[in-house]
């Protein structure tokens, strides 16, 4: 149990300027706008410029979140960056970001849980602040999936985009903030969604590059089945932990991977579309950035009011899942 309630006190987001539409992809691989939209709901995605890395996306989102929270970088005590596309293996993207921001007091580390990474990071920061170890934390989901996407593979290249979403966590009044978390993993399914080469198991070599093993591999059919199953189970569990019913939810913020998975979750929750944040059409799957981009966009559009009960649910490589409830 937290010693004090913790919530979101600032938000910010950033997406690169370049937009890659379905029409653009039709010129690269054998696909069509109709095929992509009908199966995924995606119409376009943002792509980082050649000089932009994950820390650059995170930096822009961080500035907005800090401004929103009324905090200066030197006030920060903790930085967590959720990503599977770090600038480098080490130093961590969080340390690179700490230096860019000038957040000299902040501890900093990356967290790797793929598309579930943002919720994992929220849970981690919540515990640090709730225990009193820190008074605030900057939590960012940021990924540049375009760097690990094979644009000759029509099954995966239509799915992914780049972006960053950031929140600042801090103490909030009683009755507000995070109410429950449910995190989990199914490591036996790790081979269904992976980046095979570049680590200690299969170091980078001429052969791994030739064989395309530095690109995302995904068994779409099996990941889809996993997603539908765990989105429902995690939702039930996180609501149970918070003592909430499905009808209590004011806003549902799911991982933006595929419109069909989101619709399946909405049906299970019996939620109307106006209570669900859907922006997969504009950004595609941005991995760890997906949930914060959707959450921040909803906040910016005035779709979240003080006291609203918000449900976050994601799933991703690992295989992993994460869900949270909070009172805004």
Catalytic residue positions, numbered: 115, 255, 285
311 closest CA partner among 269, 236, 251, 245 = 251
Which residue in the block uniquely carries the two structure tokens 């559009």? 301
Radius of gyration of the chain (CA): 19
- Tell me the DSSP string of 275-294: GB---HHHH-B-GGGHHHHH
Residues 144 and 53 sit within 8 Å (Cβ to Cβ): yes
User: CB count, 10 Å around CB of 14?
Assistant: 26
User: How do the residues of the chain divide into helix, strand and coil, expressed in percent and rounded to 5?
Assistant: 40, 25, 35
User: CB count, 10 Å around CB of 37?
Assistant: 15
Q: What is the rounded distance in angstroms from the CA atom of residue 298 to the CA atom of residue 28?
A: 33
Report the SS3 class of residue 47. strand
């Amino acid at each position: 149990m937290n010693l004090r309630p913790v919530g979101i006190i600032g938000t910010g987001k950033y997406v690169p300027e370049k937009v890659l539409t379905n029409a653009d992809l039709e010129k690269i691989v054998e696909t069509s706008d109709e095929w992509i939209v009908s199966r995924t709901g995606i119409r376009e995605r943002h792509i980082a410029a050649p000089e932009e890395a994950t820390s650059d996306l995170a930096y822009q989102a961080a500035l907005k979140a800090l401004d929103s929270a009324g905090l200066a970088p030197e006030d920060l005590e903790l930085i967590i960056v959720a990503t599977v596309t770090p600038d480098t293996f080490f130093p961590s993207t969080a340390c690179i970001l700490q230096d860019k921001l000038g957040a000299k007091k902040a501890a900093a580390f990356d967290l790797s849980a793929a598309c579930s990474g943002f919720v994992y990071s929220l849970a981690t920061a919540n515990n640090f602040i709730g225990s009193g170890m820190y008074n605030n934390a900057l939590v960012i989901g940021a990924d540049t999936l375009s760097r690990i996407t094979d644009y000759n593979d029509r099954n995966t290249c239509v799915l992914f985009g780049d972006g960053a979403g950031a929140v600042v966590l801090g103490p909030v009044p009683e009755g507000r903030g995070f109410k429950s978390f449910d995190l989990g993993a199914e490591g036996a399914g790790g081979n269904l969604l992976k980046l095979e080469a570049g680590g200690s198991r299969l170091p980078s070599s001429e052969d791994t590059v030739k064989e395309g093993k530095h690109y995302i591999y995904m068994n779409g059919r099996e990941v889809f089945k996993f997603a539908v199953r765990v989105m429902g189970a995690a939702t039930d569990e996180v609501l149970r932990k918070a003592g909430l019913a499905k009808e209590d939810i004011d806003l549902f913020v799911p991982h933006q991977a595929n419109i069909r998975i989101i619709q399946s979750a909405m049906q299970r929750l019996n939620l109307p579309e106006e209570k669900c944040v859907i922006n997969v059409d504009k950004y595609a799957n941005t991995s760890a950035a997906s949930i914060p981009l959707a959450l921040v966009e909803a906040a910016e559009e005035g779709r979240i009011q003080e006291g609203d009960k918000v449900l976050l649910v994601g799933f991703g490589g690992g295989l992993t899942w994460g869900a949270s409830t909070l009172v805004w």
